[in-house]
Structures are given as C-alpha cells and as structure tokens.
Structure 1
Amino acid sequence: MSANTLPRILITGATGQVGSKTIDFLLADKSIVIVAAVRTPEKATAFTAKGIETVILDFDDESTHSKAFENIDRVFMVTGYTVDMLRQSKALLDAAKKQQVKHIVHLGACGPDDTSIGHWAWHQLVERYIEWGGFTYTHLRPQDYMQNLLGYGGKKAIVNGVIYNYVANARLSWVDLEDVAQVAALALAHPEQHAGKTYRLGYDAMTFDEIAALMTAIVGKSFHYEPLSPEVFREAMESAGAEMAYMNCVYDHWKRHAAGTIPGAADTFNNFYELTGKQPTKWNGFIEKHKAEFNY
C-alpha cells in the first residue's frame, strides 16, 4: 500500500449476519476502502448498489483465493461451520500471506485458551495458524449470540412462546452479534490499536428460564422454556443429512452444558466500553429492540 492509497479491507462472510453488520459499521469511515467477498456475481449486486467493491471468493475453490486478496491490506475472516473450516482457513491464509495481507481479524468461538470443546478448539487452531503466518491479528471470541433466539439454522427458535434448547438449566454468557460486529469494525479500521489482542465477547449471563421470564414481562405474552435432550439435536442433524463431524462437536457441547461441566460457561467480560465507548447490549435491551419479532 502506497502512502497515497487508502487501506483496503476484505470482508468475508459479507452476506452473513456478522459480516453485513460489520460493513454497516465501516461504511461511514472514509479512511478505508471496503471490499465485500461474494461467491457469485449475482450476490455482488446488493453491494455494488451501495458503492461497495466486490471480489469473487469461494472458500472451496482455491483458484479464486489469490485474486481475491490482491491489493488487500486487512481481512475479516469468517469461516463456515463444518470441519472443512480447518482446510479452508489454511488455504485462505496461505493465499493471503502470498499477497502480503497485513492484518487478520478472525471471528472465532467461545472459550479460554485451554478449551476442550471440539469446534471451539478448531477456531483456536486457526488462530494459531494466523499467528504462525506472521500476520498482525485480532482474535474475536463471542459467546452465545442473542440472535439465536430469533432463529437458528433457518428455523424459528421460539414457537408460540415456547423456547426449546438442549442445555437443561445451564446459565450461559450471551452477546448481541451487533456488538461483535462493532468490535470487528474497530479492529479492522484501527489495527494498530487492536493488534495482538484476543477479545472475549459476552456481556449478560442468564438461563433460558430467566430469559423467558424477562420476555414475558417485556413482550406482554407468555414465554416458557422446555429443555430437550441433546439426543434430539443429534438425531435431527443426522436426519437432515448435516455434516456430522461438526455437529457431533455441537452435540457434545450441549451435553456438557446440560451437565454443567464446561468451566466458565457463564463468564462475562468488561471490555466493551473500553473498546467502543458504549455499554454492551443486555438481554432487557435486546428483547425491547426485537419486541415485535418476539411477539406472537
């Protein structure tokens, strides 16, 4: 990048929830150029309409990788949720290194460094490969997304006021994905301030019973939680033909949440105000913001 050229930021997962929100937070920043990665020309249309540059990037087509990273300075790296994320991430990072990308902001998963939850650990292996590649980096580790109660895997998470999940009475740590996107945008826009940092992002700890009670009070309709066996989840994934290497990890973590054997599952953190100058979203604010969507 020359002294007269604005830094160019590639957003992978640009059509997804976190990627698209990260772009929204970056749009007003005229000191950078946003480049959205899309899999097909058809998906580029919505970005082009906003004046956002696009490149074709297919994680499974390595012939698209090198071109996508040309003249890119920073990357927001959002991988898919299958075991293929390990192979895909390595290939992407190898291509980024050859194209002299400088900074990687990686969207990972929950957990401390010593986690033994399978898919969380996979994300940490990607983190280590980023570091080994010589990039400057910012690692994001969000806790459970509050948006999961609006819908999960293309299905409603709440049906007629009934919340279904697989964690028994476990208390979990939660984060609004918009807060995650805001931190991602700051780390991309100001890498000098965030390089070498790992940010765990979770700001409100509640059980599903407590969430249901809060929803009842705010929405004005009755909500309650019905816990399901983790076996129901695994059988549903098998019936749907899901990629089971990843889904078995998810099944295992549901079991461990239900048994209360995941250390720090309800940990919350006090870094959001320091990072953004704002208070993080708590459950009461999230429910109020999405009141119409929760109504039935």
Structure 2
Amino acid sequence: MTGKNTILITGSTGQVGRLIQEELTHWPHLDIVLASRKPKPHQHSAFKSVYMDYNDRDSIRSALENIDTVFMMTGYSIDMLQQSKNFVDVAKQSQLSHIVHLGACGDNDTDVAHWGWHQFIEKYIESSGIGFTHLRPEAFMQNILGYQGDNNLEKGILKSYFGNARLSWVDCRDVAKMAIQCLAHPTQHHGQTYRLGHDAKTYAEIAQIITEETGIDYRYEAEDPELFWKIAVQNQLELTYMKSIYDHYVAHAQHKIPNADATFSHFSEVTAQQPTDIRQFIRQHLSRF
C-alpha cells in the first residue's frame, strides 16, 4: 500500500453498510466512496457515491476507478458466487490493493452450505493476489428484532427457528466498527480472518433478559423450521439459498453444528473497545420491545 487509500463501500444501503456510513462520521480524514445499484440512494450523504451492480462488470470497473481498498459484501443468494467472481476478476485487472470481505460464521470445515459459499469466495480472493482481510460475523443481534424484513416480536413473545440452540451473537454496529479499522489500516490487517461473536445465549435466555429489562413477561416460542420452508416456497424466494437456511435451522435445533456458541476476542484486540453484549443491545432497543 502507498500512503493513498481511497475506500469503496459496497452494500452501502444494507444493514451493515448503513452502520458503516454512520460510524464513518467519526473518521473524517478517510476518503470514502459509496457504491449501490439503487438510483440515488445516498442523496443525503456527505460521501461521494457511484453506481455498481455485481452482475455488470463494466459498472464494477467504473466503480473501482481510483479505488485502493474495498469493503466487499454480496447479496443473500447463490448468485453471490458468480457475482463475487465478477468483482474479484475486475478488481485484479484494476490493480485494487485490498479487499475487506464480509463473510459468514463457521469453522473452516463447515457443512452449512451458505457459510461454505463465503469460504469459497474467501479462497478466490486470496488466489487473486489482492490483499485481503476476512470478517466472519456470528449471529447478528439485529436478527432478534427481525430477520430479512420479518418482525420476530410480538408483545411478550420471542420467536425463532433455532430451537434451544445456544448461539454466539454480535451487534452489526460492532461489525461496522471492525470493518472500518481494517479498511483504514489494510496493511496492518492483511491476511487475517477475524471471527466476530461475543455473547453466547439461547433465545430462551434472551427472552429472560428482555423480561428483566422491560418489566414485560417475555417467553420464547421455538417455531418449526418446516414453517420457514413453507413460507419460502409460497413467497417464491431464491430456494437454493433458502434451502441452506432451512438446513442450518434444522441442524442448530438438533445441536449438530459444532462450536455454535464459540466467542472470540478479535474485536477488542483490534478496536481496543468492549463489544456490545445482549443486555446492552436490548437496552439500546427498548422501544422495539
């Protein structure tokens, strides 16, 4: 890397991307460009924006002009594989210096399909010769509130398809903070894979914490993963990806995913901050409960 470091944020309108934008207000010296395939999504942003579509190599090439480092996030579908190949191929041609890739949780030998797809992407980035840092967040705390547009919350009831599995949780804002550190100091974090999960809890334990913090009696209801699959089919969702989600719900409920509750210290080591725990997250979002 030279002293120059212009950073492109892909997925800038997504859950993590929006939080990266918010956190970047604390880093005014960074040269930031936001990428999106939506028309004029950043008209109220202080940052420069460009159009980019992962399915359009010309738009990728244009978006990468004068860019040194990229936060790379792809969509939730099997198309992530081809889209990531498109991006990495063009990035190599464009002589990009570094990619901070947002992947998924799981050990290297995971048999959860969509986690494995992200690991294929990691290896393809590494094989390109581009500098890299991989982020592997565990379960997003924001999914307690709702998953992909669904509202998990009814007054007094918390629902999920995970059975009584204990998961390792991370606040998306902490993922954003970690990403920015890696983007701002790419040579320092080159070649690293950082797993992000900081508080291991079951949904039943989370319901108890919500009860303690709100004074409202919350209980947990474990839903049958078959209901998730039925909804996915009825709504004509992208079923290859949804089948993987369904399979991992079943595996979690049957306690067949090793190290699902493993926690990691990478966030504190890199940011010199303490990560958000479940109780803090609940307190920050009391109005939702």
**TM-score grouping bracket, smaller chain normalisation:** over 0.9
Give runs of aligned pairs for residues 246-265 of structure 1, distance below 5 A: 246-265=241-260
Matched, 1:65 2:63: no
Partner of 1:26: 24
Q: Deviations over 1:235-287 (max 9, x none)?
A: 11000110000000000000000000000001011222211111111111111
Shift of 1:40: 3.6
* 1:42 paired residue among 29, 40, 48: 40
Partner of 2:11: 13
Q: Deviations over 1:29-64 (max 9, x none)?
A: 3442100002144213122xx2x1111101222231
Q: Which deviates further from its counterpart, 161-170 or 103-112?
A: 161-170
Task: Report if aligned partners of 2:55, 2:86 keep a CA contact under 8 Å in 1.
Answer: no
Over 3 Å counting, the alpha-carbon distance change for 1:268 and 1:2 in structure 2 is: closer
Task: Report if aligned partners of 1:23, 1:34 keep a CA contact under 8 Å in 2.
Answer: no
Over 3 Å counting, the alpha-carbon distance change for 1:201 and 1:2 in structure 2 is: closer
> Aligned partners of 2:89, 2:24: CA distance in 1, in Å?
26
CA RMSD of aligned residues (A): 1.3
Partner of 1:177: 172
Partner of 1:146: 141
> Aligned partners of 1:9, 1:290: CA distance in 2, in Å?
31
Task: Report if aligned partners of 1:238, 1:244 keep a CA contact under 8 Å in 2.
Answer: yes
Amino acid in structure 1 at the alignment position of 2:120 = L
Partner of 1:134: 129
> Aligned partners of 1:79, 1:85: CA distance in 2, in Å?
6
Task: Report if aligned partners of 1:7, 1:31 keep a CA contact under 8 Å in 2.
Answer: no
Task: Report if aligned partners of 2:100, 2:134 keep a CA contact under 8 Å in 1.
Answer: yes
Partner of 2:201: 206
Task: Report if aligned partners of 1:60, 1:88 keep a CA contact under 8 Å in 2.
Answer: yes
* 1:268 paired residue among 258, 263, 267: 263
Matched, 1:161 2:156: yes
Task: Report if aligned partners of 1:62, 1:91 keep a CA contact under 8 Å in 2.
Answer: yes
Q: How many correspondences in the alignment?
A: 289
Partner of 1:284: 279
Task: Report if aligned partners of 1:69, 1:99 keep a CA contact under 8 Å in 2.
Answer: yes
> Aligned partners of 1:224, 1:210: CA distance in 2, in Å?
9
- Which secondary structure does the structure 2 equivalent of 1:236 belong to? helix
> Aligned partners of 1:30, 1:99: CA distance in 2, in Å?
26
Matched, 1:189 2:184: yes
In structure 2, list runs of 5 or more residues that go unmatched.
none
* 1:86 paired residue among 81, 85, 99: 81
Matched, 1:95 2:90: yes
Shift of 1:96: 1.0
Matched, 1:110 2:105: yes
Shift of 1:2: 7.2
> Aligned partners of 1:2, 1:216: CA distance in 2, in Å?
52
> Aligned partners of 2:149, 2:269: CA distance in 1, in Å?
34
Amino acid in structure 2 at the alignment position of 1:22 = I
Task: Report if aligned partners of 2:10, 2:71 keep a CA contact under 8 Å in 1.
Answer: yes
Runs of 4+ aligned residues of structure 1 deviating over 6 Å after TM superposition are none
- Which secondary structure does the structure 2 equivalent of 1:173 belong to? strand
> Aligned partners of 2:133, 2:22: CA distance in 1, in Å?
19
Task: Report if aligned partners of 2:7, 2:32 keep a CA contact under 8 Å in 1.
Answer: yes
Amino acid in structure 1 at the alignment position of 2:23 = F
- Which secondary structure does the structure 2 equivalent of 1:10 belong to? strand
> Aligned partners of 1:84, 1:279: CA distance in 2, in Å?
35
Overall identity of the aligned pairs, in %: 47
